[in-house]
């Protein structure tokens, strides 16, 4: 179980959204967390790898390798 304290303006927006859609405020809070947690985890993983040093790889080079592998 998790309890959050939100600023009144955010609480109001969440309540309006929940009422309009027939979902609960908890549903939308859970969805927001699920969508963001992976990005946050990736950020900390990247920081650890950067601190360790080693070769850096660009997104472009990874995409090229993936494309090449898919063609084969």
Q: Per the structure, how many domains does the chain have?
A: 1
Condensed to tens digits (0 to 9), the pLDDT of residues 34-67 reads 999 999 999 999 899 889 988 888 999 999 999 9
**pTM of the entire predicted model:** 0.60
Spatial contact of 18 and 25, defined as CB atoms under 8 Å apart: yes
Q: Which domain, by its residues, includes 57?
A: 8-71
Considering the domain boundaries, does residue 2 fall inside one? Answer: no
Considering the domain boundaries, does residue 3 fall inside one? Answer: no
Query: Rounded to 5 degrees, what are φ and ψ at 60?
Result: -60, -45
Three-state DSSP class for residue 56: coil
Instruction: Tokens for 69, please give them.
Output: 């592998």
Considering the domain boundaries, does residue 1 fall inside one? Answer: no
Spatial contact of 14 and 28, defined as CB atoms under 8 Å apart: yes
Considering the domain boundaries, does residue 48 fall inside one? Answer: yes
């Amino acid at each position: 179980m998790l309890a959050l304290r939100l600023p009144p303006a955010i609480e109001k927006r969440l309540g309006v959204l929940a009422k309009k859609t027939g979902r609960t405020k908890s549903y939308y809070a859970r969805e927001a967390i699920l969508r963001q947690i992976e990005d946050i985890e990736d950020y900390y993983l990247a920081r650890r790898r950067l601190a360790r040093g080693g070769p850096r790889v660009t997104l472009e080079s990874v995409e090229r390798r993936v494309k090449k592998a898919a063609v084969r």
